Amino acid sequence: MRHAIDTVMVEQRAASFTRRSIKTDSKQQGLRLALSMIDLTTLEGKDSPEKVRSLCHKAVTPWEGIIEPHLPSVAAVCVYPSLVKVAKRALEGSSVNVASVATGFPSGQYPLEVRLNDVVEAVSDGADEIDMVINRGAFLSGCFDEVADEIAQVRTACGHAHLKIILETGELETLENVRLASDIAIQASASVGPIADGEVFIKTSTGKVSPAATMPVTLVMLESIRDYYEQTGVRIGMKPAGGIKTAKQALHYLVMVKETLGNDWLNPHLFRFGASSLTNDVLRQICKQQTGHYTATYDFSEA
């Protein structure tokens, strides 16, 4: 199952996506698309119902003052399991999903029974998506069957909810390990039953470890997704998370997705950004495209 990775070639290929020329019309479309792919996230010890409700309002209406009246909502709001009910009520009637970081986030070191109960309760409270973390200690110890079994059990516990599997690539040490973890995550998910397109994602990071998402890491994960699609015809989703702060970076990622996986993946059903701070820069760039000047940062609520 291991794949030899030429790190230099991966880095060169990833860098090449940052040099593509994006024309004005394509840039506008790309910015709106990037906005629709964002998972607005709050994962702090000081999170409160009031903060989550505010975030949900921003998710549905990213900026009420913008000239363009029909901006897309973001894809999802991601919260701790204890705040899923609050988010679900706040987003009622909207197209925005509720995601929850169950399974002992961010360490993934809790007893498996605790992690599975975490998932079941979050889904029961209304979570549409579960962002789980793999046990990196087990993976780096070579206990791949243990990692795969835990992923399979979490997918079963998700029931109807979609599953995003966080690899925490900043702790996996090599691109070979990133590819192996990606393959294990996808295969383990498939082991418990058929996967519908977009029902399972692989995700780079929790956002709590540095480095988080990088283009070379994301490219390796996209190639795992591409190979699985070529073998099975099933489209696995992708979510780079952490470290993507500017609209320019987001457009680079979209170019990489298009050239690696094709246009089918250029929608929120199959690609997400886990980068709340990205939202306001995307909004500023949309405004710049429409008016010719940048809006002050204080004109936007905090994401």
Catalytic residue check, 203 = yes
Q: How far apart are CA 85 and CA 105, in angstroms?
A: 18
Structure confidence at residue 101 (pLDDT): 96
Domain carrying residue 26: 7-299
Answer yes or no: are the C-beta atoms of 189 and 228 closer than 8 Å: no
Over residues 73-92, mean pLDDT: 97
Alpha carbon 61 to its chain centroid, in Å, reads: 20
Tell me if 275 is assigned to some domain. yes
Tell me if 163 is assigned to some domain. yes
Tell me if 201 is assigned to some domain. yes
Residue type, 33: L
Task: pLDDT band for 70, please (50, 70, 90 cuts).
Answer: confident
Task: pLDDT band for 288, please (50, 70, 90 cuts).
Answer: confident
Number of domains in the chain: 1
pLDDT at 297 over 80: no
Q: How many CB atoms lie within 10 A of CB 153?
A: 17
Alpha carbon 51 to its chain centroid, in Å, reads: 21
Q: For the chain, give the percent of residues with pLDDT over 90.
A: 81
Catalytic residue among 131, 164, 183, 281: 131
Residue type, 23: K
Structure confidence at residue 210 (pLDDT): 86
Convert the pLDDT of each residue in 225-284 to its tens digit. 999 999 999 999 999 999 899 999 999 999 999 999 999 999 999 999 998 889 999 998
Q: For the chain, give the percent of residues with pLDDT over 70.
A: 94
Neighbour order of strands in the sheet with 162-166: 39-41, 76-79, 97-100, 129-133, 162-166, 200-203, 237-239
Straight-line distance from the first to the last Cα atom of the chain, in angstroms, rounded to the nearest whole number: 40
Catalytic residue check, 245 = no
pLDDT at 130 over 90: yes
Catalytic residue check, 131 = yes
Catalytic residue among 58, 88, 164, 203: 203
Structure confidence at residue 68 (pLDDT): 59
Question: Which comes out higher in pLDDT, residue 76 or 243?
Answer: 76
Tell me if 129 is assigned to some domain. yes
Tell me if 108 is assigned to some domain. yes
Tell me if 2 is assigned to some domain. no
Tell me if 1 is assigned to some domain. no
Question: Which comes out higher in pLDDT, residue 294 or 125?
Answer: 125
Mean pLDDT of the chain: 93
Convert the pLDDT of each residue in 187-231 to its tens digit. 999 999 999 999 999 999 998 988 889 999 999 999 999 999 999
Over residues 111-134, mean pLDDT: 97
Q: How far apart are CA 126 and CA 87, in angstroms?
A: 9
Q: What is the CATH number of the domain that holds 280?
A: 3.20.20.70
pLDDT at 66 over 60: no
Tell me if 217 is assigned to some domain. yes
pTM of the model: 0.94
